[in-house]
Amino acid sequence: MTGDTYRIVRGYRLALDRAYDRETHMWVSVQDGDRVRIGLDPLGVETTGSIAQLAVLRSPSSLRRGEQFGSLEAEKFVGPLLAPLSGVVVACNDAAIADPGLLHRDRFGEGWLAEMDARDLAAERQELVEGAEEIVAWFESKVDEYRLRGVLAE
């Protein structure tokens, strides 16, 4: 992708060089071929609160889009982390598991969660939001929706 990699959208720093799952607030960054890295987007991090514990399946773990690949315990949320794509988990980020604060401090860099070999990247990518304009429009609408519902403070 050309142009700026990051943009401030409704007060949140957002990476525009990856795709986002609308429902799970996971980001997906293609690493090489069908290998992808997965992390939690700014709204996913913000709405969970301070993360106390993080667990990710150890490789190799095969799963389908929407299946649990880990869990998160935080101030405002305890529950599953759901896969944005189908494939095989081939690595988890031990640094983030040892220090879940990485998701707050460096969510688009060292704060990634898992890497997987995507099973059908071309087809499932269509379920994700991609492209700077589309990402910004989607994220703005989600922030507005969450503020209206009282999920986020003004």
- Note the pLDDT tens digit of each residue in 49-60: 899 999 998 878
Please determine, for residue 3, whether its predicted confidence score (pLDDT) is greater than 60: no
Q: What is the average pLDDT value for the chain, to the nearest integer?
A: 93
Whether 20 is covered by a domain: the verdict is: yes
In-domain check, residue 21: yes
- The answer to whether residue 18 sits within a structural domain is yes
pLDDT tens-digit map of 68-100: 999 999 988 899 999 999 999 999 999 999 999
Residue 59 lies in a domain: yes
- The domain total for the chain is 1
Q: What is the dihedral of CA 108, 114, 119, 120, to 10 degrees?
A: -20
Which pLDDT does position 2 carry in this prediction?
39
3-state secondary structure of 6: strand
By residue range, what is the domain housing residue 89?
A: 6-145
d(CA 81, CA 4): 29
Please, which contacts does 26-32 make with residues 24 or more away whose CB atoms are closer than 8 Å? Answer: 26/81, 26/82, 26/83, 26/84, 26/113, 27/84, 27/108, 28/84, 28/85, 28/128, 29/112, 30/121, 31/115
- Given a cut of 70, whether residue 1 has pLDDT beyond it is no
CATH number, residue 24 = 2.40.50.100
Q: Is residue 108 part of a domain?
A: yes
As a whole number, mean pLDDT of residues 138-148 equals 95
Residue 31 is assigned to a structural domain of this protein: yes
pLDDT score at 60: 80
In a domain, 152, yes or no: no
Residues 118-128, mean pLDDT to the nearest whole number = 95
pLDDT, residue 154, reads 67
